[in-house]
Structure 1
Amino acid sequence: MRRRQVLASGTALLSVPVAGCGHPSVVLDMDEATAADIVDEVSMSPEPQSVEHRVVSEAIENGSATRRGRYELFDRTDTVRIGDAFYEVSETALATGEVTVYDVRIDFDPADATATVGEIAYEALPAVDRERLGPILSDDDPPTGDRYDVGIAYGTAAEVGNESVFVPEQQYDIVVRDDERYRVAVETRTASETEYRYEATRVASGVDPFADRVRDRYLFALTGLSDAEREVVEAAIDGGYFEDDEAFRSVTDRIRGHEGIEVTDSYGTWLLAYEGTEYLTYVEW
């Protein structure tokens, strides 16, 4: 994860507060950028078994593809890399309906560990359930309370498939692992599900040609800086600049005068050249 992504998230890597640490109010962070870095910044490379890879591959092969889901796949970027080729992907909502979504809840220390529906050893669970429950049941220090301690979002019955012993029909309410007995409950809720259509247009083949395409649109030179502004930039390259002073505002105003790769009301990412070197530059103001 790049430094600016950590800063932009506003979240700490630890789940507990650390005394004396806080998120800076302003940030200027400049990372030297290769062609591969530029490509990674503006596109995604889905795993071969992912839904993203499947729908884009189908759209490439068949001209379009459809999917039903409760969220958009390409809300961060519409540029997808498949192999060495880059595609602009359109995601069009066609129709929306209601579906049942399943959540499985685990009680790590049930007051009554007697099965009323049935009990099953963890090792005997289907793979679809072991994959979801395994990380939770492997916790060396699980949360405990008066009721169910952890909820696991299973999804819709269609997303889960036909193998689960919990969704859509609960067949067991006790799971046994390493002599520990865990109570399981299944809850349902209603959510909106949309049918999407996908189309993919090839825009480049190879990392370097695609990076050049990005440069043509976004790259600009940061020049004509004062000594104070240069100090800000050098600090940003060295590890980040976090002081809300006049020099910072002057530099960031220059940067924000250009089109950014991604820009919101309070932060953004730009591609710029400084003294002949290209930088992916994160600004938070």
Structure 2
Amino acid sequence: MERKALAALGLLALVALAGCSATGSLSMEAANDAEIAEAASRPAVVDSPAPDDRRVVREAIENGSGTATATDPPVQRGLPLAYEGSYYEIDWNVTGTGPGTAFAVGVDLNGTAPADQTVGFEELSERDRRLLGNLLTAMSEREPRLSPGPEIAIPEEYTMSETNESVLLSGEYSAVRYNGTVYPFVLEERREETLTRYRYTVGRVAESTNAYAQQLRDEHLFRLSGLSEGERSVMNEAINGVYYAEGTDDESFQSIMDQFSAESAIEADSYDGTWLVRYDGKVYTADLSYGGFDQDERPIAG
């Protein structure tokens, strides 16, 4: 879900999570076909704030393959990607390397700049416009802030040919005029990098949401039944909410966690995971966090 979007939203996430921790937790939501498929996929289109992250995936889906040049794969392997009602697995291989430029561009919502240092958006290179287009659209819809300086900074990498064509990197301008509004920008952390060329390919795993949801039920759905009173209390509190274990001596939560981790997860690692479970006649997506419980001896299925 990915590199630049995380960079833009990382601070908000840290603020939201500050002070919130638990020994372990379980949350469950009743799920129909669309909700099951959503829990087991990623969107192939990211409109804002970083429109270029998954362009390569759209190219691969529409044309059979796509290419990207970056220091790291712009889209990682993982859950299938949803695109126009179908679902696709992605893979990539390295086809070469080349020189490039890494930098961050910061944009100011409420700044000013001299006219001779302002360039029209239409005068930017194609690569510059792709970088700034959706970002400026999203930012122009937000309320200006009173604090000076850039409100957001987006990391980016250009090939050498893109660097040579770039107006942003030319050093001639300090602001861009977009839809009649002037947005000052600053370039930070500019450095030369060796970039890797990636060739992406895709394989369709399901032609529709219903077909994908059925695949997931066939592969991952398991039933919880015959639970103790304490275990049912954990499950019932988790439904449409969150159950928090208060300590590692919570035997009911430990038992539920053992039963989940023995089953095939939609996605799981040594810290948390998502499962598909039938409980009391309903199907739920369940997000389980192991928290402080020791998982070293517990195999994680998935």
Range into which the TM-score falls when normalised by the shorter chain: 0.7 to 0.9
Task: Tell me if the contact between 1:29 and 1:239 (Cα under 8 Å) persists in the aligned partners.
Answer: yes
| Letter of the structure 2 residue corresponding to residue 153 of structure 1 | I
Task: Give 1:207's aligned residue.
Answer: 209
Task: Give 2:103's aligned residue.
Answer: 102
Q: Which structure is larger by alpha-carbon Rg, 1 or 2?
A: 1
Task: Give 1:217's aligned residue.
Answer: 219
Q: Deviations over 1:225-268 (max 9, x none)?
A: 11110111011114110024111111111111112111121111
- Matched residues in 1 for 2:92 and 2:155: separation? 24
Q: Deviations over 1:58-110 (max 9, x none)?
A: 11xxxx44332333244262523333333322222333444212333568999
* Percent identity between the two aligned chains: 25
Unaligned runs of 5+ in 1: 1-8
- Matched residues in 1 for 2:150 and 2:88: separation? 43
Q: Deviations over 1:125-156 (max 9, x none)?
A: 75835654673896633544xxx656633623
Task: Tell me if the contact between 1:118 and 1:174 (Cα under 8 Å) persists in the aligned partners.
Answer: no
Task: Tell me if the contact between 2:68 and 2:74 (Cα under 8 Å) persists in the aligned partners.
Answer: no
- Matched residues in 2 for 1:114 and 1:210: separation? 52
Task: Check 1:141–1:204 CA distance in 2 against 1; reply closer, same or farther (3 A cut).
Answer: closer
Instruction: Give yes or no for the alignment of 1:194 onto 2:196.
Output: yes
Residues 135-146 of structure 1 mapped to structure 2, 5 A cutoff: 135=139, 140-144=144-148
Task: Check 1:88–1:109 CA distance in 2 against 1; reply closer, same or farther (3 A cut).
Answer: closer
Task: Check 1:150–1:156 CA distance in 2 against 1; reply closer, same or farther (3 A cut).
Answer: same
| Letter of the structure 1 residue corresponding to residue 263 of structure 2 | H
Task: Check 1:81–1:161 CA distance in 2 against 1; reply closer, same or farther (3 A cut).
Answer: farther
Task: Check 1:281–1:119 CA distance in 2 against 1; reply closer, same or farther (3 A cut).
Answer: same
Pick from 268, 275, 292: which aligns with 1:270?
275
| Letter of the structure 1 residue corresponding to residue 32 of structure 2 | T
Task: Check 1:280–1:73 CA distance in 2 against 1; reply closer, same or farther (3 A cut).
Answer: farther
- Matched residues in 1 for 2:105 and 2:82: separation? 35
- Matched residues in 1 for 2:98 and 2:119: separation? 37
Task: Check 1:28–1:65 CA distance in 2 against 1; reply closer, same or farther (3 A cut).
Answer: same
Task: Check 1:192–1:252 CA distance in 2 against 1; reply closer, same or farther (3 A cut).
Answer: farther
Aligned partner of residue 56 in structure 1, secondary structure: helix
| Letter of the structure 2 residue corresponding to residue 243 of structure 1 | A
- Matched residues in 2 for 1:139 and 1:175: separation? 19
Question: Post-superposition shift, 1:23?
Answer: 3.0
Task: Check 1:34–1:192 CA distance in 2 against 1; reply closer, same or farther (3 A cut).
Answer: farther
Unaligned runs of 5+ in 2: 1-8, 48-53, 291-302
